[in-house]
Structure 1
């Protein structure tokens, strides 16, 4: 086996020299993991446990990504919340999806947890409202799991971990894409295969990182 030669994918605005001039409002100022001073607190609060290497840098708990640097707001774990909203049952079941503005694929509504979110459920419902206009703040999501997701921005030192919850409705409700979503709509969801086939026929692609989340929802409904 040859040497490990990952690619640094840090965008220009997060390079050390750029951060000296301006820190984006969505990112922390630390130019490298070595500049982070609260690793014990971050490890204790993490959704998914992670370790530090011998140099004190965070290690992606999902393993190597062939990428280093930071393409996300924080070094280490970036906590997100995703909403899986399902209407109807059985063969008539539908799922609410958005088109992500960053990479143009179909995905569940969701985004980064903010410091103002009191609970993960609050974060999940806030993101749902912001991206689809669907206000379900009177509902209690069923939290299915917390895991590192295969986000396109993940690196060996910076990654996304998501808590995802299921909300069931008797029928669809109006949804309109906003914020980070180009559009929002309901799609047939009797099975994951059916969903992907319908999306493909419409010239769309399902976000690979959300396949496990959607399958977990189907498995929960089958219990």
Structure 2
């Protein structure tokens, strides 16, 4: 069955705050411009965008996302190795109940993905790593539970490794902005990361970041 759904917050708070399109009819969007700057090509049929990577169960509308079509984000992957050789990753607990995620957010006009990763990291964790060396990976589709067949998320992971530091000397992340808290999470492999979150915080990895993190941490380092 085709389901139509756009969360009420998109058309109220989202529009007022500027993170959502005010246009409710996607056929009136300038699709040529959005398709030209898309990180992953997508089709527009009868004036409506089509998710290029999956069917979400919501055929029409934006679900919980603000922009019609692709929404490009960047996520900060910040790691450090402790004195025992264990790898740790900065993660944040989302305030919307979707679990633990990488710090990140939408790429704003004029920003590079690395710029966005640095900005969002500072906003969500208080960590200012503007002077760090960042490696930007290719953009990839993420199966965000807030997406629909007409509004979806693409992210560009930006990686930085802070080297080997004594556990007691780690920079201290402080949850801010729209997150509950920010913490260093053990991340030698993805299964270790997931088990650590569950055992320590009773948490789970945000669905949209599971495959991404599994690809990054699928083997012992």
- One fold, TM greater than 0.5? yes
CA change 1:138–1:221 in 2 (3 A) is farther
Find the aligned partners of 1:41 and 1:181 in 2 and give their Cα distance: 32
Q: Residue in 2 aligned with 1:106?
A: 100
Runs (5+) with no aligned partner, structure 1: none
CA change 1:201–1:211 in 2 (3 A) is same
User: What displacement does 1:141 show?
Assistant: 1.5
Scaled by the length of structure 2, what TM-score is found?
0.87
User: What displacement does 1:66 show?
Assistant: 0.8
Q: Residue in 1 aligned with 2:19?
A: 26
Q: Residue in 2 aligned with 1:129?
A: 122
Runs (5+) with no aligned partner, structure 2: none
Find the aligned partners of 2:19 and 2:47 in 1 and give their Cα distance: 24
Q: Residue in 2 aligned with 1:56?
A: 47
User: What displacement does 1:169 show?
Assistant: 0.7
Q: Residue in 1 aligned with 2:75?
A: 82
SS at match of 1:85: strand
Deviation sequence 1:92-138 (CA, Å, 0-9, x none): 110110001112411110111122x4311101110001000000001
The number of residues matched between the two structures is 211
Q: Residue in 1 aligned with 2:61?
A: 69
User: What displacement does 1:200 show?
Assistant: 1.4
CA change 1:14–1:144 in 2 (3 A) is closer
User: What displacement does 1:29 show?
Assistant: 1.3
CA change 1:14–1:94 in 2 (3 A) is closer
Answer whether contact 2:99 2:206 (CA < 8 A) is retained. yes
Q: Residue in 2 aligned with 1:155?
A: 148
Scaled by the length of structure 1, what TM-score is found?
0.87
Q: Residue in 2 aligned with 1:211?
A: 210
SS at match of 1:72: coil
SS at match of 1:99: strand
Find the aligned partners of 1:193 and 1:63 in 2 and give their Cα distance: 25
Asked if 1:46 corresponds to 2:38, the answer is yes
CA change 1:65–1:206 in 2 (3 A) is same
Deviation sequence 1:129-150 (CA, Å, 0-9, x none): 1000000001232112211111
CA change 1:60–1:137 in 2 (3 A) is same
Find the aligned partners of 2:116 and 2:175 in 1 and give their Cα distance: 18
User: What displacement does 1:44 show?
Assistant: 1.0
* Structure 1 runs of 4+ with >6 Å offset: none
Answer whether contact 1:133 1:177 (CA < 8 A) is retained. yes
Answer whether contact 2:92 2:181 (CA < 8 A) is retained. yes
